[in-house]
Amino acid sequence: MNFEFIKTLRQKSVEVLSVLSVIILWQFTADFIVQNKLKLPSFYDVALSFFSVIESGSIFTDLLVSLLHFGIGIIAAFFIGLPLGIAMGWFKKTSRAVDPIIEVLRPIPPLAWIPFAMAWFGLTHTAAGFVVFVGMIFPIIINTYSGFKNIPKVHVEAAKVLGCTKNLDLIRYVALPSAMPSIISGIRIAMGVGWMCLVAAEMFGVSGDGLGYELWQSFHLHRMNFVLMYMLLLGFLGLFIDSSFRYYVDAKLLRWKAGTVV
Amino acid sequence: MGRVNVKNVSRTFQKKEDGSETEALENISFDVEDGEFVCILGPSGCGKTTLLRIAAGLETLSSGEILLNGEKTTDPDPKRGMVFQQYSLFPWRTVIDNITFGLEMQGIGKKEARKRVEKYLELVGLEQFRKSYPHELSGGMQQRAAIARALANEPEVLLMDEPFGALDAQTRNVLQDELLKIWEHKHVTFLFVTHSVDEAVFLSDRIVVMSARPGRVKEIIKVELPRPRSRTSLEANRLRDHVLKLLEEERYTK
């Protein structure tokens, strides 16, 4: 175990060295050059704040609340965006009917929806989830739609002559798997946008917990070491969500595809 | 049983922009006996692929009809299998799951379907590649798998649209030999579109030679060379020469 650890450390020596030197440089700059905890808290301060939120347990509540907001958004965006994108991609009439509406709504920045999120849902988890939803739904719709538009005609025709003739079967057995890479990259884009919306929604105080909310609160209390800690936490969490999604997708859904997902 | 009657089939295409009409097929008629191997040969753009697509139900006709065992054909049907010129395997399915696709559509469970298609996998010599994905196969192997996939539905007629057109000359020869073996093995009628005179002479019982656009039946040639055929025999060359002259006429009369 210990030996394995040293081995990986050796293999990743350049990466480890790089991270270590940034941390040392950071600590040095904070302690000797900036010398102002409001402008640049040191690595040590940030680490201390991290341990303090773990000790008090508040990090776990905030983490769960943020994930709840994110979950509400992604589930709603997935279950509305995917069918809509499919319907638009498969039936021309639907696309013609829905497309103008989407084109009008899409350029509105998701954060501009925050006032209405509060008006409709109050200061609740649903309100924060709604903002995340707004950020996520358009990439999902558009990538599903374009994935459906790019299905090779010969695959649909091959399926037809093999006895797969109903629209629903063609969508299920041909169109959906064929469009899967595009849908998945849509979801990944959506998750990136959704994550940003999440933090913004929480900072606006749409709900009384969550990492974004705590970040903003810490700022008001001039606890910049906490602000930086929450920033890093959000970054790592986003990275973790994206890479675990990617890992799952590459292993399960896109094994047939050579190379990597975009 | 796979008797095909093509009766007075015409097809005109309308251009959307100016409403001008192009006649692709004009009054095509011929019959294919049960178990016969018929090649449709013609200059490029003569509508031979269109004719095949009409037979498959992927394209509509303007007038006339195509009958399979006396029944009019319209929509695609597993009784009329088709192999395309482009690689048409589903890239997200393994070779074996591509071949079971037709059976799955009939509501047969995956396990049972896999058992049933085993013989087709053997027939095309892809047992070792059952779990490979299409992108891992060569072009020739992909077309073999596509043939197995079409056969697994036990069609009465197999429509082939220049299936070996994208392959190199040697692979093409090998696949032609294999196709004939399959044809002898299975009792299937073949309707095979090609632009290669060599291929038509080597494979078919009869060759339907089509004229340049609009496609008409120019001549139906009975190929009476004994099987197994030699590609280079004197008779084969004589026949090739005759067919090439027919095609040449088409080039100069236009």
The per-residue pLDDT for A63 is: 93
- B105 contacts A169? CB cut-off 8 A: yes
Q: Contact at 8 Å (CB) between B68 and B3? A: yes
Chain A environment of B135 (Cβ under 8 Å): 256, 258
Domain residue ranges of chain A, discontinuous segments joined by +: 41-253
Q: How far apart are CA B65 and CA B9, in angstroms?
A: 6
Q: Which of A153, A155, A156, A161 to mutate to test the interface with B (most CBs of B within 10 A)?
A: A161
Chain A environment of B81 (Cβ under 8 Å): 161-162
pLDDT digits 0-9 by tens, A14-70:
988 999 999 999 999 999 998 888 899 999 999 999 999 999 989 999 999 999 999
Q: Contact at 8 Å (CB) between A192 and A113? A: no
Is the predicted pLDDT of residue A80 greater than 60, yes or no? yes
Residue with tokens 């941390």: A23
Residue with tokens 């990986």: A8
Q: Give the 3-state secondary structure of chain B.
A: CCCEEEEEEEEEEECCCCCCEEEEEEEEEEEECCCCEEEEECCCCCCHHHHHHHHHCCCCCCEEEEEECCEECCCCCCCEEEECCCCCCCCCCCHHHHHCHHHHHCCCCHHHHHHHHHHHHHHCCCHHHCCCCHHHCCHHHHHHHHHHHHHHCCCCEEEEECCCCCCCHHHHHHHHHHHHHHHHHCCCEEEEEECCHHHHHHHCCEEEEECCCCECEEEEEECCCCCCCCCCCHHHHHHHHHHHHHHHHHHHHC
Nearest to A212 by CA among A190, A197, A192, A191: A197
What value of ipTM does the predicted structure carry?
A: 0.91
Chain A environment of B56 (Cβ under 8 Å): 161
Phi, psi of A120 (to 5 degrees): -80, -40
Q: How far apart are CA B162 and CA B203, in angstroms?
A: 13
Chain A environment of B82 (Cβ under 8 Å): 157-158, 161
Closest chain A residue by Cα to residue B86: A154
Kind plus residue range of the DSSP H or E element containing A117: helix A114-121
Nearest to B88 among A158, A163, A177 (CB): A158
pLDDT digits 0-9 by tens, A198-238:
989 998 877 778 999 999 999 999 999 999 999 999 999 99
* B135 at interface of A, judged by CB pairs closer than 8 A: yes
**Sequence-separated (6 or more) residues with CB below 8 Å from residue A192:** A238, A242
Q: How far apart are CA B106 and CA B77, in angstroms?
A: 11
- A163 contacts B105? CB cut-off 8 A: yes
- A161 contacts B81? CB cut-off 8 A: yes
The per-residue pLDDT for B37 is: 95
- A258 contacts B57? CB cut-off 8 A: no
**Surface of B (99-128) touching A: CB under 8 A:** 101-102, 104-106
Q: How far apart are CA B81 and CA B148, in angstroms?
A: 10
How far is CA B131 from each of CA A38, A255, B110, B126, B134, rounded to the nearest angstrom?
A: 60, 12, 14, 10, 10
Q: How far apart are CA B132 and CA B92, in angstroms?
A: 10
- B57 contacts A164? CB cut-off 8 A: no
The per-residue pLDDT for B253 is: 63
- A159 contacts B78? CB cut-off 8 A: no
- A161 contacts B78? CB cut-off 8 A: yes
- B91 contacts A257? CB cut-off 8 A: yes
The per-residue pLDDT for A125 is: 92
User: Tens place of pLDDT for every residue, chain B, 254 residues?
Assistant: 789 999 999 999 988 888 888 889 999 999 999 999 999 999 888 889 999 999 999 999 999 999 999 999 989 999 999 999 999 999 999 999 999 999 999 999 999 999 999 999 988 989 999 999 999 899 999 999 999 999 999 999 999 999 998 899 999 999 999 999 999 888 899 999 999 999 999 999 999 999 988 889 999 999 999 988 989 899 999 999 999 999 988 877 65
Q: How far apart are CA B93 and CA B97, in angstroms?
A: 6
* B81 at interface of A, judged by CB pairs closer than 8 A: yes
Is the predicted pLDDT of residue A262 greater than 50, yes or no? no
How far is CA B78 from each of CA A20, A112, A161, B93, B153, rounded to the nearest angstrom?
A: 64, 54, 6, 19, 6
- B91 contacts A256? CB cut-off 8 A: yes
Cβ-Cβ pairs closer than 8 A, A with B, add up to 75
- B101 contacts A173? CB cut-off 8 A: yes
**Sequence-separated (6 or more) residues with CB below 8 Å from residue B163:** B83, B84, B85, B143, B146, B147, B175, B192
The per-residue pLDDT for B1 is: 78
Is the predicted pLDDT of residue A246 greater than 80, yes or no? yes
Chain A environment of B94 (Cβ under 8 Å): 256
Q: How far apart are CA B46 and CA A100, in angstroms?
A: 42
Q: Which two tokens stand for residue A134?
A: 């707004």
Nearest to A162 among B75, B102, B135 (CB): B102
Closest chain B residue by Cα to residue A151: B90
pLDDT digits 0-9 by tens, B77-116:
999 999 999 999 999 999 999 999 999 999 999 999 999 9
- Does the structural domain A41-253 have CATH classification 3.20.20.70? no
Three-state SS for A250? helix
Q: How far apart are CA B202 and CA B209, in angstroms?
A: 15
Q: How far apart are CA B247 and CA B254, in angstroms?
A: 11
Is the predicted pLDDT of residue A260 greater than 60, yes or no? no
- Work out the minimum CA distance from A141 to partner chain B, whole angstroms: 22
Closest chain B residue by Cα to residue A258: B135
- B75 contacts A162? CB cut-off 8 A: no
Strands B80-83 and B217-222: unpaired
The per-residue pLDDT for A1 is: 55
- A162 contacts B78? CB cut-off 8 A: yes
**Surface of B (144-203) touching A: CB under 8 A:** 146, 149-150, 153
